[in-house]
Chain A
């Protein structure tokens, strides 16, 4: 049996096909699988980025993701949920985050995946430090992310 909810905070990369296979394994009740993958961009706010460093708050990170997923489960009829977030040093193009949601129908899977990602952005204790051509720089939180999450209220 595969667990309904899987949360992983890890330094190593993940494989999209493997994650989708786990969401689908022995799960013929759900006809919809929605996934989101976030990657490291080569530019941010006009500055060239050569990579980034991701810090988190062990213990709170997992707890906050559990709460976000729990809210999504109460709000939509969804099956399995996988959230993977990488930490440590990451280069351009590398995968940072994965959110996968299954459901009987696509509407709930799409909505829940977007909700989880929007709330992860504003509630899960991760911080990015960018390595730019002008040196290291902690990223400032964006008000657009806060507004996006508030749309679900």
Chain B
């Protein structure tokens, strides 16, 4: 299982803070996971089409081609606004 978590405005728009995804032969990268999540509905499709969306795997910011595997924690969130 891959644990997927969402934060801030994205979490509110999706009305979902976390979910589990079973990895398969196509869901092998962050980008592929995004494509899979985009299939959950119209809201998901438009939100995951946003290129400004940031991704992290096991607490490190990564790009779309980063590999993912069972046991990973993958996070998606809007650009950060702390400080």
**Chain A residues with a Cβ under 8 A of chain B:** 38, 54-57, 59-60, 63-64, 85, 96-97, 117, 120-129, 138-141
A124 — which chain B residues lie within 8 A by C-beta? 80, 82-83
Give the number of chain B interface residues (Cβ < 8 Å). 18
A127 — which chain B residues lie within 8 A by C-beta? 7-9, 77-78, 80-82
Q: Is B60 an interface position by the 8 A CB rule?
A: yes
Query: In the complex, how many angstroms separate the beta carbon of A83 from the nearest chain B beta carbon?
Result: 10
Knowing A57-B7, A60-B75, the reply to whether A126 touches B61 (Cβ < 8 A) is: no
Which residue of B is nearest A117, CB measured? Answer: B83
Among B60, B78, B82: residue with most chain A CB under 10 A: B82
B8, A55: Cβ atoms closer than 8 Å: yes
B9 — which chain A residues lie within 8 A by C-beta? 127, 138
Knowing A57-B7, A60-B59, A63-B59, the reply to whether A125 touches B83 (Cβ < 8 A) is: no
Knowing A64-B61, A123-B61, the reply to whether A128 touches B56 (Cβ < 8 A) is: no
Please report the C-alpha to C-alpha distance between residue A138 and residue B10 in the assembled complex, in whole angstroms: 10
Query: In the complex, how many angstroms separate the beta carbon of B47 from the nearest chain A beta carbon?
Result: 13
What are 8 A-B contacts defined by CB distance under 8 Å?
A64-B59, A85-B83, A97-B83, A125-B75, A127-B8, A127-B9, A127-B78, A129-B8
B8 — which chain A residues lie within 8 A by C-beta? 55, 127, 129, 138
B61, A121: Cβ atoms closer than 8 Å: no
Please report the C-alpha to C-alpha distance between residue A124 and residue B56 in the assembled complex, in whole angstroms: 11
Q: Is B71 an interface position by the 8 A CB rule?
A: no
Which residue of A54, A59, A63, A140 contacts B82 across the interface (Cβ within 8 Å)? A54
B81, A126: Cβ atoms closer than 8 Å: yes
* Contact string against A for B residues 1-42, beta-carbon threshold 8 Å, 1 for contact and 0 otherwise: 000010111001000000000000000000000000000000
Knowing A60-B56, A63-B59, A125-B56, the reply to whether A141 touches B7 (Cβ < 8 A) is: no
A140 — which chain B residues lie within 8 A by C-beta? 79, 81
A117 — which chain B residues lie within 8 A by C-beta? 83
Please report the C-alpha to C-alpha distance between residue A64 and residue B60 in the assembled complex, in whole angstroms: 7
